[in-house]
Amino acid sequence: MQLIDDIGAWMARQRWYAGKSHRPRFRLLDAQSAPGATRYLIMDDAGAPPTLYQVPLATVPAVEPGDDAVAAVTDGILVEATRQPAFTIGTLAQMGVDVSRVSGSRVLTGEQSNTSIVYEEDGEPTMILKLFRTLHHGENPDVTVQRVLSDAGSPFVPRFLGGLEAEWPDAGRAGGVARGTVGFAQEFLRGVRDGWAVALEAAAEQRDFTDAARDLGIAVAGVHGALRAALETADAGPAEVAATQAVWRRRLEIAASEVPAVAARLTTIDAVYRAALERPWPRLQRIHGDLHLGQVLAVPHGGWRLVDFEGEPLRPMHERAIPDLPPRDVAGMLRSFDYAGAVGAGPAAAAWAAACRSAFLESYSASAGAAPLDPVLLRALVLDKAVYESIYEARNRPDWLAVPLAGIDAALA
């Protein structure tokens, strides 16, 4: 079908298309009515597993500046609907959001896995909508987590405004239908800066960042406490410990096979893992799951906000909702401070990062909502994170490999 071929050729050039490592095989799963547009649900059957994409397209008589022609149709040209006000404002209204004062919208550039649209009210940006490009059955964790945190009055996340779901054919499910999140809206925080950029600048200039690190520890503990109160928790029984052990050891095997420096430390790393597996573990709960400085926003005179609770976009929703170890988030942030110090390359990078780690840990542990931090378990989680980083850097950025290797050595010292 020529239309699907044309849409597929356009999809393959988009940043949010996740199948660039294989030759795609697209087919149309469904075409649904959307405000001022058609929501095409395109399956890439060549992926492992196959991936379902949301592609909203609008029909226009002629391409305007800033629009890409996706395909020619009988009554005009198909273009990306996220730049068409009828779609963007109409979708926001479908979420139950008051759009009476919306005066414009624009697509944020630079995103990779989703598409975000910023809305202005009376000329000021006030709301942002995240449109999920890959769809899965079930509510997206970004919606679940931010909604419950907003309902709990948490000051550490943007205020949740509304979400939108859709259904599509799925022969593998009872009734032959799947249902999942296609997007959600939250408040837009003006003047915010990405936490990574703020920390990197401070590290490069050797400015003290410990107050910010302490505030971040308070924010992470506050989010953990609110999630523990609002969503399911579970004991870390033998099955859960064994599953974590399998992940740790498989990742270590891969790293040892690809990074000689990790192979030389394999026995010592494994000993840390064994010690952690024998300790009592804290209760499992919903966490961020991919926490680092790039997942937090610095609000002018307003502390920190945690964002992007989506998890790995290609993992099934039920896997992303499984309760996990809260110290995993803590370990991710500790590793992120190390990266900021190393990449900022100030004259005392290691000392700068160590001060940030210490301040973060101290404030997290002293805050209401904090999970218990067993130093043996936390050490293993930090090591596992650094081992993963060593695989990534060896494959993608060999010049950065020294950063995770230094982290491994520090954790083993």
Could you report the per-residue pLDDT of 236-275, keeping only the tens digit for each?
999 999 999 999 999 999 999 999 999 999 999 999 999 9
H-helix or E-strand spanning residue 116: strand 114-121
Same domain? For 344 and 205 the reply is yes
Residue 78 and residue 94 in one domain: yes
| The predicted structure's pLDDT at residue 319 | 83
- CATH number, domain with residue 343: 3.90.1200.10
Q: Which residues of the chain have pLDDT under 70?
A: 111, 313-314
Residues 252 and 345 in one domain: yes
370 and 279 both lie in a single domain: yes
Q: Could you tell me if 334 and 354 are in contact, meaning their C-beta atoms sit under 8 angstroms apart?
A: no
Distance between first and last Cα of the chain: 61
Q: Which domain holds residue 288?
A: 193-412
Q: Residue 112: its pLDDT value, please?
A: 77
Same-domain pairing of 157 and 236? no
pLDDT at 172 (0 to 100): 87
Both 327 and 393 in a single domain? Answer: yes
CA distances to 80, 228, 365 from 371, in Å: 44, 9, 8
Indicate whether 157 and 206 sit together in one domain: no
The CA-CA-CA angle for residues 400, 405, 410, to 5°, reads: 130
Q: How does pLDDT run across 2-44, given as a tens digit for each residue?
A: 999 999 999 999 999 998 889 999 999 999 999 999 999 999 9
Give yes or no for a cis peptide into 49 (omega within 30° of 0): yes
Domain count of the chain?
2
CB atoms under 10 Å from CB of 65, counted, come to 4
The pair of structure tokens assigned to 225 is 């406490």
**Whether residue 278 sits in one domain with residue 183:** no
Nearest CA-CA partner of 373 in 387, 357, 386: 357
Distance, in Å, from the CA atom of 406 to the CA atom of 393, rounded to the nearest integer, reads 13
Which of 142, 172, 187 marks a domain boundary? Answer: 187
179 and 200 share a domain? no
**Does 18 fall in a domain?**
no
Q: Are residues 230 and 90 in the same domain?
A: no
Supply the pLDDT for residue 49.
87
Please report, as a single letter, which amino acid is at residue 152: A
Residue 8 lies in a domain: no
pLDDT of 314: 62
Cβ-Cβ contacts under 8 Å for 375 (sequence gap 6 or more): none
Rounded-to-integer distance, Cα 377 and Cα 163, Å? 37
In a domain, 7, yes or no: no
CA gyration radius for the chain? 23
Q: What digits encode the pLDDT tens for the residues 151-163?
A: 999 999 999 999 9
- Where residue 352 falls (left for φ over 0; alpha for ψ -120 to 50; beta otherwise) is alpha
Angstrom CA distances, 268 to 19, 277, 363, 409, stand at 37, 15, 30, 10
Q: What is the pLDDT of residue 113?
A: 87
